[in-house]
Amino acid sequence: MTPPTPPGLYRHPTRSEIIDLAAAEGHDADIPTNMGSIHQVPSHTSASPRNVQKDTPTAIEKDIEKTAGSGTGSISTTSTAAIADEEDAEPEPDPDPNIIDFDGPDDPENPLNWPATKKWGMVSLISAITFLTPLASSQFAPGVPQVMRDFDSTSDLLEGFMVSVYVLGFAFGPLIIAPLSEMYGRLPLYHSCNFLFIVFTVAAAVASSMGQFVVFRFLMGCFGGAPMVLGGGTIADLIPREQRGTAMAVWMMGPTVGPCVGPIIGGFLTVAKGWRWNFWFVAIVAGAFFLASLVLMSETSAIIILQRKVNRLRTSTGNKNLVSKLDTGLTPSQLFTYSIVRPAKMLFQSTICFAISLYIAVTYSYLYILFTTFTAVFTSQYHWHGGITGLSFLGLGIGSLIGQFTYIRYGNQVVHRHIRAGDFRPEHRLYMMCIGGFFIPMGLFVYGWSVHFQTHFMVPMVATGVIGFGLLMTFMPATTYLVDVFTVHAASAMAASTVLRSLAAAFIPLSSQTMYARLGYGWGNSMLGFIATLLVPIPFLFIRYGQGIRARSRVKL
């Protein structure tokens, strides 16, 4: 717990606060942000070099550094000695007058000091947009048979791909959006991506061929991923760390629950208006959010706000040596490297990053296998028709919601207990993942054979709820574990995981119809369950050997 700041004094952020904020903002912590950088920022003037001041690490932070190999034990670019030198460095006594920062902790230009109505209005709007865009990934799933008839297609491959191609956009769009937001700020990216999302949603609604439809769906995903890339950072810009939990929990519901709620709406809308109205519905709601964002949203990136302040002062004073405290000095090519090259290296050179990302990717692909087959399964096995087919997604959504709240409650309890005991290490995040891993194969076995034998529809519905519960109980602790292990480079680790899971969710479900046709629903889902069972030991192995693996692993970035 960070001690309160005495009135009138500015408390420099601790290393852990900078790392947490960088992870939320979607970049690595060696890039300066609105809390600064964990490394010395290079001087841009002829003045003496400047250091980023930091508090002395707390006992807990020291313990985490000691037990986790400085948190970045698998990254050779940030050694334990270097971090210790930085933390022990004396703060610079005479700050460079050419370096521009906020005017103390109460500066009204700082987004943390904006009026509460303005801040929470933006948080509410961003959370709503973040709920809508993942919802659009699966909303039209109950209308897939209609799409196939309208475009005269009988390809099982296209039947699954038209749903999952949206997620393929999630793999590529954020790699470009993230570095652009570092250069131009969050607001231009929000507005441009929201506008283009609406444009391509309308294009999908009026598509006249399967090829056009698939391309427009992919572009919807590319630009629809913007709020998931930028939303966490915006919330971190606006809401103090002590009050951020509620906002982050609401924002996180978008990508976890949105895809499960969408088909319930889409099932009834498809019957009432046809499959194209699923896209008109999304476009109308997104258009309303876009207009609201033009009125309510302002730039929250401290990098951009300070740079604007620098530009004003340069004009008024004529001093061309003025520079923002958060000026990174990174070129566009360097930002590109951070966004693309570094995650790829971490994925293929780090045992922990690869294994955890593989687990997430396989289980995430199961979610989209269910999305692309629920309509066919419940139509053929239970003779559901019309809008009621959308209700087949209800169990998955409820299970996911329960899994999210269970992890938030009990996962945090486990971690806090070890922090109080002074023996916390990142592997303690994985205890909940060990539990969740068993629910996925269990749910798949029950779901497959209950559908095969056409038991009462509530049995497969409950089974899909168990699957949803297991998915969230593995996905959330695995993601948090990556943040704790890679600390400084957490954003790159999460980017690597995001790309791999999006690719898996886009391509693995393409074979789902063929799999069920050849193996049946019982053995088909059992095969998925057997694969999920093979993955169950991963968190157990990392709990036992993770610390040693981190100590031996080296990734040259």
Spatial distance between the Cα atoms of 516 and 355, rounded to a whole number of angstroms: 28
CATH, residue 497: 1.20.1250.20
**Higher model confidence: residue 223 or residue 159?**
223
CB-based contacts of 213-217 (< 8 A; 24+ apart in sequence): 213/147, 213/151, 213/162, 214/158, 214/161, 214/162, 214/165, 217/162, 217/165, 217/166, 217/169
Same domain, yes or no: 416 and 299: no
- Residue with structure tokens 């008839």? 149
Q: How confident is the model at residue 390 (pLDDT cuts 50, 70, 90)?
A: confident
Same domain, yes or no: 129 and 169: yes
pLDDT at 51 over 70: no
- Pick the last residue of a domain from 329, 344, 369: 329
Any domain includes 517: yes
Instruction: Give every CB contact of residue 407 below 8 A, 6+ residues apart in sequence.
Output: 432, 436, 472, 473, 476, 477
Any domain includes 285: yes
pLDDT for position 86: 45
- Pick the last residue of a domain from 329, 352, 367: 329
Any domain includes 26: no
State residue 438 phi and psi, 5-degree precision.
Answer: -75, -25
Same domain, yes or no: 283 and 417: no
Spatial distance between the Cα atoms of 332 and 173, rounded to a whole number of angstroms: 17
Instruction: Give every CB contact of residue 377 below 8 A, 6+ residues apart in sequence.
Output: 392, 451, 460, 516, 521
Per DSSP, the residues of 148-197 read HHHTT---HHHHHHHHHHHHHHHHHHHHHHHHHHHHH-HHHHHHHHHHHH
Any domain includes 439: yes
The residue segments making up the domain with residue 489 are 332-557
Tell me the per-residue pLDDT of 423-434, one tens digit each, with 9 for 90 and over: 888 899 899 999
Same domain, yes or no: 192 and 214: yes
Same domain, yes or no: 318 and 338: no
Chain centroid to Cα 76, Å, comes to 25
30 touches 86 (CB < 8 A): no
- Pick the last residue of a domain from 297, 329, 361: 329
Any domain includes 64: no
> Which amino acid belongs to residue 69?
G
pLDDT at 187 over 80: yes
335 touches 182 (CB < 8 A): yes
Tell me the per-residue pLDDT of 459-499, one tens digit each, with 9 for 90 and over: 999 999 999 999 999 988 998 898 888 877 877 888 889 88
